[in-house]
Amino acid sequence: MPAEAVIRKYSDMVYRIAFARSGNKADADDIYQEVFLRYIRRSPEFRSEEHAKAWFIKVSVNCARKFMSQKQKNAVTVGDWTENLLQDASDANAVESATVEERFLADERKAELYRELQKLDCDTRVLLHLYYFEELKTKEIAKLLHKTDSAVRVALFRARTKLRIQAQEDGALELLSE
Amino acid sequence: MFRKEYRDFMNAVKPEEALVEAVIEMHGELKGASPAEATRTAITTSAAETARAAIATSPAKATRTAASPARAAKPMKMLKVAAIVFCALLVLSAGTVVVDAATGGGVQSLLGIKDSVVAGENKTEVVLKEPEGEENYGGSMETEVEDDGTVTVVITTSDDAPVFSCNFKLEEYNREYQIGTSLKYCNTKEEIAWKVYQQCHRAFSMGTFNEKMRSAIIDELEKVKKEIGTGDEVKDGCAMGVQFMIDEFRTGYGMLEVVEDVVIDRDDVDGDGDCEEVLGLSFFKLDFQVMRLVTERTGQKEFVVDTVAGIPGKYRITMISYAPSLSYYTMKLD
């Protein structure tokens, strides 16, 4: 498959993983770039679509982890930037200029989910994303993240439980029910 | 229910088309370019590790931990002042490379510098400029490469942000591209520093270096830092970011191993573009890279380290298997 087609094919997936991990557009943009720069630099030969997908997921997860672990040292807290986003959202009146986060926050339901997700740690958000959005099996996730299958299952269970408790406390249980 | 809600939620998350186009364009420009082949074989260095090291040893650490609520309470001002969107579009013309600032989402051209540069022939000019034109909440990074090898990098920010340029005269140069970053969510100078550092790093990690080149770059960056000056959050942040880069070059902590002019990437140890995570412990990798090199050269397989993942202690690590062609490394941690 030509490189352009590969980039287009995996763009959304890479970006979503980056966003799941970072929770904001600016960082997701940076992580996205890093992933594709690695792809461009190395021009890996993929044996199959599955191989390509696995490569992009792994590189995305690793780049995001690397990026965020550094940024974490300097970043404002999640609470701080969520408040900033809320402020941004209230100031944003031009739809086309709104960032992904602002668009979410304009939709109350999505805003609720966004807030609940941001309360989870970033590893857990990635885990949920791979499971619920990319629909990877726990075994596949385990292989990609260098964990055991049971560790992934336990982490998913804990994440769901935590989300449920959070949602209950915040009165958003319906949103997060299975 | 959760699955559906989550899928609806994430379906709205997509990269902007301009970003995708920029990446594709970057690929197109690099395709077939021989310097790209050179950099492909060069293993580039990691930004995160080195910035981490720089931050850990810098006075910034103290100020970061003491960042006041008042500082955090002025994000809007900072958004305007500090929103540096590095976004320059490289347009090739005959013999000369001209970079145009774009309004966002463009391709940024940066330098990839080959190891054939002779330090003594580097010519540098650092100019402090005032921003021109109407108020600009973006900013840009522009690079010009003339056919005689003179390279000019101009970084502009907005309002009272620093604006500087520096010229390198290179015998040969190796074009590379990077796309932009944004400081939108930077609320402190440390965050600005990290982004600036990251951009610098992207520029410099594209090529391979020898010792002469390294020392020449340090001189350039010192001048740049001096020109940026101090006095406000943005200037301090940018200067700090440049300092991180200087530290990296000076201490060699980031590009620790310059082996036959090839810079080893601590994250991408096998050079396949992936960044390996060893046991999921990022700090461990610092030691891991050194260990890997020692194992390669001496055959030693057991190591004792005093920090793993930032946790002090005595750890014995045994290299069990190592395959350069694979992304995985097996090690035992006691």
Cα-based distances in Å from B51 to A122, B56, B83, B194, B252: 21, 8, 21, 7, 12
Residue in B7, B12, B16 nearest the CB of A132: B7
Tokens 């994250």, residue? B267
What pLDDT sits at residue A17?
Answer: 93
Answer yes or no: is pLDDT of B16 > 80. yes
Say how far apart CA B291 and CA B299 lie, in whole Å: 10
Whether B40 sits inside 8 A of A43 (CB atoms) is yes
Whether B274 sits inside 8 A of A59 (CB atoms) is yes
Say how far apart CA A128 and CA A20 lie, in whole Å: 9
Going by C-alpha positions, the residue among A176, A134, A127 that lies closest to residue A153 is A127
Whether B23 sits inside 8 A of A7 (CB atoms) is yes
Say how far apart CA A12 and CA A134 lie, in whole Å: 11
How would you list the strands of the sheet with B97-101, edge to edge? B88-92, B97-101, B140-145, B150-156, B164-169, B126-128
Residue A110, min C-alpha distance to chain B (Å): 6
- Average pLDDT over all residues of chain B: 47
Cα-based distances in Å from A74 to A31, A79, B189, B192: 17, 14, 9, 9
Q: Give Cα A62 to chain centroid, integer Å.
A: 12
Answer yes or no: is pLDDT of B11 > 70. yes
Whether A7 sits inside 8 A of B268 (CB atoms) is no
Q: For B247-298, how does the pLDDT look when each residue is reduced to its tens digit (9 = 90+)?
A: 766 765 443 333 333 333 444 444 444 444 433 333 333 345 455 555 665 6
Answer yes or no: is pLDDT of A6 > 80. yes
Task: List the helix and strand counts (H, then E) for chain A.
Answer: 10, 0
What pLDDT sits at residue A174?
Answer: 61
Answer yes or no: is pLDDT of A87 > 90. no
What pLDDT sits at residue A13?
Answer: 94
Between CA B12 and CA B22, with CA B18 as vertex, the angle to 5 degrees is 125
Q: For the CA atoms of chain B, what is the radius of gyration?
A: 21
Residue B225, min C-alpha distance to chain A (Å): 21
Whether B187 sits inside 8 A of A42 (CB atoms) is no
Q: Which residue has the higher pLDDT, A115 or B49?
A: A115
Say how far apart CA B107 and CA B8 lie, in whole Å: 31
- In this prediction the ipTM stands at 0.78
User: Which residue is closest to A77 within chain B, CA to CA?
Assistant: B72
Whether A26 sits inside 8 A of B182 (CB atoms) is yes
Say how far apart CA B206 and CA B36 lie, in whole Å: 9
Token pair, residue B196, equals 């600036």
DSSP state of B120: G
Going by C-alpha positions, the residue among A34, A45, A67 that lies closest to residue B325 is A45
Instruction: Please state which of the ranges A63-72, B106-115, B228-237 shows the lowest mean pLDDT.
Output: B106-115
Residue in A19, A75, A128 nearest the CB of B191: A75
Say how far apart CA B207 and CA B114 lie, in whole Å: 6
Whether A74 sits inside 8 A of B64 (CB atoms) is yes
What pLDDT sits at residue A16?
Answer: 93
Q: Select from B9, B41, B68, B187 the residue whose CB has the most chain A CBs within 10 Å, as the one to mutate to test that interface.
A: B9
Percent of chain B with pLDDT over 90: 0
Q: For the CA atoms of chain A, what is the radius of gyration?
A: 17
Q: Select from B4, B10, B192 the residue whose CB has the most chain A CBs within 10 Å, as the one to mutate to test that interface.
A: B10
Question: By the 8 A CB rule, do B272 and A44 touch?
Answer: yes
Q: Which residue has the higher pLDDT, B6 or B157?
A: B6
Instruction: Please state which of the ranges A112-116, B145-149, B263-267 shows the lowest mean pLDDT.
Output: B263-267
Q: For B38-65, how does the pLDDT look when each residue is reduced to its tens digit (9 = 90+)?
A: 222 222 223 333 233 333 333 222 222 2
Say how far apart CA B235 and CA B243 lie, in whole Å: 12
At residue A130 the predicted structure's pLDDT band, cuts being 50, 70 and 90, is very high
Q: Which residue has the higher pLDDT, A125 or B113?
A: A125
Instruction: Please state which of the ranges A32-46, A120-134, B280-294 shows the lowest mean pLDDT.
Output: B280-294
Question: By the 8 A CB rule, do A25 and A101 touch?
Answer: yes
For range B59-80, the mean pLDDT: 26
- Which range is most confident: A26-35, B69-78, B275-284? A26-35
Going by C-alpha positions, the residue among A174, A24, A38 that lies closest to residue A112 is A174
At residue A9 the predicted structure's pLDDT band, cuts being 50, 70 and 90, is very high
What pLDDT sits at residue A177?
Answer: 54
